[in-house]
A = this chain, B = another copy of it.
Amino acid sequence: MGLIENETGAQRTLGYVLDVGQGDGCARCYLDLTEAHMNRHGVLHGGIAGLLLDNAMGATGSLTVDDSGRAPFLTISLNTQFLAPARAGTRVTATGRVTGGGRSLLFIAAELVAGDGTVIATATGVFKRVPQHRLAEGGDA
């Protein structure tokens, strides 16, 4: 219930699960870290940390529209801060939270936390709801 798996190319490639069913308005991305997600230093690639945060944030925006977690939101800008490394063998969870906004733009924050509670990275971003009829036109901010 509320778990979205293998629905997009990026999701299949990286293997994360999107959970939009916790009922608190906060979408989550789970990833069980393996060697496939590591950087040159043997820790989670910061870009993958950022991707999990971004995905959880966008889906958190979607949950303001309906509980499918699939209403389209575009990331306008994303600011990520990298607090600690994460290693293979850990499950990391990114959790989004709406902090403000109005009719078309949302401010969303997120944290990426490891299994032992360590905060790996935090992010804030600006997200934009995309009307269904605009999607075909693509990326006009």
Q: Which of B41, B52, B100, B138 contacts A85 (CB 8 A)?
A: B138
A contact residues, range: 35 or more
Are A100 and B84 interface neighbours, CB within 8 A? Answer: yes
| Copies of this chain present | 4
Query: Is A1 interfacial (CB-CB < 8 Å)?
Result: no
Q: Give the residues in chain B near A124, CB-CB below 8 Å.
A: 77, 79, 81, 122, 124
Contacts A8-B45, A77-B79, A102-B140 supplied; 17 other A-B pairs, CB < 8 Å: A9-B35, A10-B39, A13-B13, A13-B36, A46-B58, A47-B47, A47-B48, A47-B52, A50-B50, A77-B82, A77-B124, A78-B82, A80-B80, A81-B107, A81-B124, A84-B138, A107-B122
